Structures are given as structure tokens and as C-alpha cells.
Amino acid sequence: MHPQVRPATLADTLPIATLHREAFTRQMGSETWVHATLSAAPRMLAFVLDLEGEIAGYIFWAQKSGIRPEATLELDQIAVAGRHRGHGFGEHLIRASLALVTEALSSEGQRIKSVLVSTRADNAAQQLYAKVLGAKVVASIDGLYSATEVIMLATLNQVPDEQAD
Ligand SMILES: CC(C)(COP(=O)(O)OP(=O)(O)OC[C@H]1O[C@@H](n2cnc3c(N)ncnc32)[C@H](O)[C@@H]1OP(=O)(O)O)[C@@H](O)C(=O)NCCC(=O)NCCS
């Protein structure tokens, strides 16, 4: 199999919504959620993992707190189809899409300073984010969504914080 990571388009709404429904069973309105996300570039940047014509995963990145020269991105959501998990596709999706985001932001004069990501404290995705992004848990919020949520941060570029917001 030759996994390909490419930007998502509105034509990908239904297959992404199907993956969303399967992966996030506590959430509702999959199609609405996905359609709104795909319509929100450059605030949201969406990519799919194409496995020989099958949309087998997706990832949403968000630019936080405006369009900044030193951007903080949030890994907003990622899912790989159940039957394809555990084969390195999640890792590939993060790495390849982050490279595409880096390129896209660079063409707008931006660079990525840090990446935020949050997940349920009991979700194995924590290991994925630590491994691929070098993200570390910086906070934990009880009951934020459905349970305790950990907030993880990866600093990609060390830049002096000279200016106030
Ligand atoms: C999280 C998710 C995207 C991972 O995708 P995946 O393709 O199965 O992940 P990979 O095979 O690329 O795993 C890469 C690394 O992540 C970590 N990892 C992934 N799944 C793991 C698990 N169940 N337990 C422990 N570590 C895990 C490991 O470090 C793994 O590296 P290794 O195989 O060298 O140990 C997938 O499980 C998924 O879609 N889950 C449902 C949706 C979800 O929970 N998304 C995250 C919400 S915050």
C-alpha cells in the first residue's frame, strides 16, 4: 500500500464524516462538523490519508489566536479507520501533514513556533503525540469534555518572547 497524505477538499466531507462518526462516538453532527472545518481555511487546515483511493484517515490542524508570524498550531483532531490502526498511518499522517502545513505557512511568511494538542488522559494517543511531536503534558483539566483532558505542548522553534500580545 502507498499511503498518500493530501489536503482535504469539500468533496471529502462524507468519507471524513464517516471516520469521525466511527472514531468519536460521543460527538454528534459529523457531517456538519467536518463541512464547517473544511470551509474554515486558513484557520483550519485539513488533510486526508489516501490509501489507494480509500480515505483511511484525516487530520485537522488549527491556527490559534490569529494568523501570526510565529504560529501556534493545534492538532485539533486526528482519526485513522479502525481496521487500519496500529500500522503507522497515524504517525505518517501527522508527519506528512505537518510538513505540508509548514510549507503552506512558510509561503505566507509564517513559521511554526509550537504545537498544542489535547486528549483524554486515558487515550493512547498521548503516546503518539509524545513520539511524533515530542509533546509533553503541561496541564490537565478535570472534566473538560467527557473526562480528564491532558493538554500537551511541543515547542518546535525556540523564539524569544519579546512582545506582549
Ligand atoms: C490515535 C490514532 C489516530 C492512532 O493512529 P494509528 O495509525 O493507530 O497510530 P500508529 O500506528 O501510527 O502509531 C504510532 C505510535 O503511536 C503510539 N500509539 C498508537 N496507538 C497506540 C495504542 N493503542 N497504545 C499505545 N501507543 C499507541 C505508539 O507510540 C505508536 O508507535 P509504535 O507503534 O512504534 O509503538 C488512532 O488510534 C485513532 O484514530 N483513534 C481514534 C480517534 C482518536 O482517539 N483520536 C485522537 C483523539 S485526541
Is 164 among the domain residues?
A: no
Is 161 among the domain residues?
A: no
Q: Which of 6, 26, 12, 165 is nearest to 96 (CA)?
A: 6
Question: How many domains does the chain contain in total?
Answer: 1
**Would you state the pLDDT for residue 157?**
58
Is 51 among the domain residues?
A: yes
Condensed to tens digits (0 to 9), the pLDDT of residues 93-110 reads 999 999 999 999 999 999
**CB of 14 closer than 6 angstroms to any ligand 1 atom:** no
Across all residues in the chain, what is the average pLDDT? 94
The CATH number of the domain where 148 resides is what? Answer: 3.40.630.30
Is 163 among the domain residues?
A: no
**Would you state the pLDDT for residue 1?**
75
Tell me which amino acid residue 23 is: A
Q: Which of 81, 38, 28 is nearest to 61 (CA)?
A: 38
Q: What is the mean pLDDT of residues 105-121?
A: 97
Q: Which atom of ligand 1 is nearest to 125's Cα? A: 1
**CB of 91 closer than 6 angstroms to any ligand 1 atom:** yes
Q: Which atom of ligand 1 is nearest to 131's Cα? A: 29
User: Is residue 98 within 8 Å of 129, Cβ to Cβ?
Assistant: no
Cα-to-centroid distance, 114 and ligand 1 (Å): 21
Condensed to tens digits (0 to 9), the pLDDT of residues 35-52 reads 999 999 999 999 999 999
Kindly state the percentage of the chain with pLDDT values over 90: 92
**Residue 26 structural domain:** 3-155
